[in-house]
Chain A
Amino acid sequence: MRQYSSLRRNLTGYAFISPFIIGFLGFTLIPMFVSLYMSFTSYNLFTSPRWIGLDNYTKMFFDDPKYWNSVKVTFLYVFIGVPLRLIFALFVAMILNTGSRMVGTYRTLYYLPSIIGGSVAVSIMWRNLFSNEGVINSALTAIGIGPISWFGDPNASLVMLISLSVWQFGSSMLIFLAGLKNISPEMYEAAGVDGANPIRKFFGITLPLLSPIILFNLIMQTIGAFMTFVPAYIISKGEGGPMDGTMLYSLYLFRQAFMFNNMGYASAMAWIMLIMIGILTVAVFLTSKFWVFYESEGGK
């Protein structure tokens, strides 16, 4: 009898969370496995999928220079963009932590780009800022460096894309700010009594105590950066140009799927991306024991 009623109670619970479960099954889990199946087929949306075994994967690895180019561009974007973004976020967080006037307003303002972050509107704004007669080029001309062809030069266009990602530092900044607030002022006072200068305080106290938060930010931002799509799509008008300089992995995947209708190939790309992100995340976790410091462990 007791078992029966607990089952009944659970069923009610399941009924209440069923919207999530159905959504998860219908829109996440099942599509994931369908895409795994698709990745072994040739499928163009119109005719039924045709099983081709590992052909998509062998083409990707051995016969598609554009694929490797997109991997290269994405790694550049992630490995330059994410550290810069985190350093910048920490820098701003520390300034905002000093408690000067109107600090609340500044926090809000700096966070704003993240709320609208990744959106189409921001990307269009970025495009305008960097256009031929945009603000950036006018400023550069004024100090005599001359206009740079941001959309024409393959290297410059990636710099522009990274700068957009650095500018959207708000969410990591807020998390850093919360972490900074958690460091007790007594530590700094004690260090001050011992004669530590601000630089020593930063490396001796702030960084170690913040390291769990850095780890969190690093992983979340890296995963996010790998999946960046909207800015590259809008800024390059969906073409990833010039010379594939802004052809991020997800943009190339999108082009294969929705412009060339190579759904099978795109599915294979998606799975490799999942594996790459997985490996990278595990690697960061493995290194973390050398540099992340948890107070509760009493200094390791």
Chain B
Amino acid sequence: MVKKAIFLVMAALLVLTTACSSSGGSGETSGDGSVTLRIAWWGSDSRHEYTQKVIDLYKEKNPNVKIDVEYASFDDYWKKLAPQAAANQLPDIVQMDISYISQYAQNGQLEDLSPYLGNQIKVDDVSENVISTGIINSKQYGVPAGVNVLGFQYDPALLKKAGVDAIPENMTWESYEELGKQTAAKGLFLDGGVAPDIFFHYFLRTKGLSLYNAEGTGLGYDDDKLFVEFFGLMRRMIEQGAAPSPDVANQTKGIIEESDLVKEKGIGVWQWSNQFVALQQVANRPLAFAPMPGPDMEKGLYMQPSMYWAVTSNSKVKEEAAKFIDFWVNDVEANKLIKGERGVPISGKIKEAIAPELSDATKQVFDFVASMEPKASPMSPPPPVGSPEVIASLADVVEELNFGKVTPEQAAATFRKNAEAVLANNK
């Protein structure tokens, strides 16, 4: 009797514990030839909607494929993905961000897609500069879902109001500072402040350097004068009233509706090209693009994948997963639904095919990206493992600097110490 009861309890325990682990097996091919793919991405509601439509279209064309979807906001996405990776239960296809792809690739979570390129995934119409952005340690771990490029997005009418006819051609950092003085005199911000990691990295690239060294074991520049030069300029912009002080910027951070440009208090923002459409929509008046400041803009500029599609190594249906990525890259109907929301399509043919379908703002983005693409240089390797911590540390010191709590020299030294400590783990 006792034995029976113990047996029952143990059985119940077993059921309870195994119930947690047995679910979620990824990508099975079942007897009747049907395939189930799991796919995950992050984004906003509108992205979820059209992505679901693209998936429905794919299922229509491939009746043997079933697709399970998982989506979340950017922050939640990575919190969900990390435990799945630890348990080898990643979805077959994952949307990858540039700041995380190294980590997932180097830990063996992603599949090298090189054997699939040209077979399942056709890349004939994709420029070499673009497809190569998915290469880490000479393996193709991701296929860009679209590309972005940095630029200045501004309101030409407001610029005229500030007494400036146009953004100077071949703008340099000096003329940019001059311009700031002019707009500040009229009580207008020239820009809304910049994302430190992205623009400092751009600045370093124009000098032939990079934020991280090639191995990802340390910073990619030795001379802290470069830090002082760049962030000194950014701080002067704030002091002159050409950029908002950090307490003002913090108050409106991440809310487009409250941004200075939308409220006609600021002339423009430096940001990625895909962010233009939302900005234009909220501002609801004509906006324009201008290129990045130089000198050596060509060296600094690069086509950045807005995000990648990657196939995970624990997937059991990698070929089917690759076919879906091909559909994303090369199918005209699918791209008419996507409308370049994940960045400008990487295939030249697709760009032409969907051009008539685009809104005016999206067309501007496509045109700007097209005009910058021939000037761009190859991208630096994706940020190494630990980069989220390095970027957070950079944001911290730059904030202290902009609040005037430390000098640029102190900030440069603090950042170097913190960043090197994190990156040393990659040795």
Residues of A within 8 A of B109 (CB): 46
Residues of A within 8 A of B166 (CB): none
Interface size class on chain A is 35 or more
A221: min CB distance to chain B, Å: 29
Residues of A within 8 A of B194 (CB): none
B418: min CB distance to chain A, Å: 9
- B56 interface residue (CB < 8 Å to A): no
Given known A-B contacts A46-B85, A259-B388, A259-B392, A242 and B247 have beta carbons under 8 A apart? yes
Interface size class on chain B is 35 or more
- Whether the pair A14, B9 counts as a contact (CB closer than 8 A) is yes
- Whether the pair A241, B103 counts as a contact (CB closer than 8 A) is no
Interface residues of B in 1-30 (CB under 8 A from A): 1-2, 5-6, 8-9, 12-13, 16-17
A38: min CB distance to chain B, Å: 13
Residues of B within 8 A of A278 (CB): none
- Whether the pair A242, B9 counts as a contact (CB closer than 8 A) is no
Return the chain B residue nearest A137 by Cβ: B251
- Whether the pair A7, B2 counts as a contact (CB closer than 8 A) is yes
- B353 interface residue (CB < 8 Å to A): no
Q: Looking at the complex, which of A82-90, A106-114, A146-154, A185-193 is the stretch in contact with chain B?
A: A146-154
Q: How many A-B residue pairs have CB under 8 A?
A: 93
- Whether the pair A47, B107 counts as a contact (CB closer than 8 A) is yes
- Whether the pair B9, A45 counts as a contact (CB closer than 8 A) is no
B105: min CB distance to chain A, Å: 11
- B250 interface residue (CB < 8 Å to A): yes
Q: Residue-by-residue, is A115-156 near B (CB-CB < 8 Å gives 1, otherwise 0)?
A: 000000000000000011100000000000000011111000
Residues of B within 8 A of A149 (CB): 247-248, 250-251
Residues of A within 8 A of B396 (CB): 66, 244
Bound complex: CA of A153 vs CA of B245, how far in Å? 11
- Whether the pair B247, A45 counts as a contact (CB closer than 8 A) is no
Residues of A within 8 A of B286 (CB): none
Q: Is the interface of A mostly helix, strand, loop or mixed?
A: loop
Bound complex: CA of A100 vs CA of B17, how far in Å? 55
Which among A12, A45, A151, A259 is the interface contact of B250 at CB below 8 angstroms?
A: A151
Given known A-B contacts A46-B103, A151-B251, A243 and B9 have beta carbons under 8 A apart? no
Bound complex: CA of A12 vs CA of B83, how far in Å? 36
Residues of A within 8 A of B8 (CB): 15
- A26 interface residue (CB < 8 Å to B): yes
- Whether the pair A8, B1 counts as a contact (CB closer than 8 A) is yes
Bound complex: CA of A18 vs CA of B15, how far in Å? 13
- B258 interface residue (CB < 8 Å to A): yes
Which among B83, B245, B249, B392 is the interface contact of A255 at CB below 8 angstroms?
A: B392
Given known A-B contacts A152-B249, A243-B399, A22 and B13 have beta carbons under 8 A apart? yes
- A24 interface residue (CB < 8 Å to B): no
- A237 interface residue (CB < 8 Å to B): yes
Top-9 shortest CB links A-B: A152-B247, A46-B107, A152-B250, A260-B389, A149-B247, A11-B5, A242-B250, A151-B251, A45-B86
Apart from A26-B16, A259-B78, A259-B389, list 13 A-B contacts with CB within 8 A.
A8-B5, A11-B2, A15-B9, A22-B13, A133-B258, A149-B248, A151-B253, A152-B247, A152-B250, A153-B247, A237-B253, A260-B392, A262-B389
Q: List 12 A-B contacts (CB under 8 A).
A: A11-B2, A14-B9, A42-B425, A45-B83, A46-B85, A153-B247, A239-B392, A242-B246, A242-B250, A243-B405, A255-B392, A258-B82
Interface residues of A (CB under 8 A from B): 4, 7-8, 11-12, 14-15, 18, 22, 26, 42, 44-47, 66, 131-133, 149-153, 237-239, 241-244, 255, 258-262
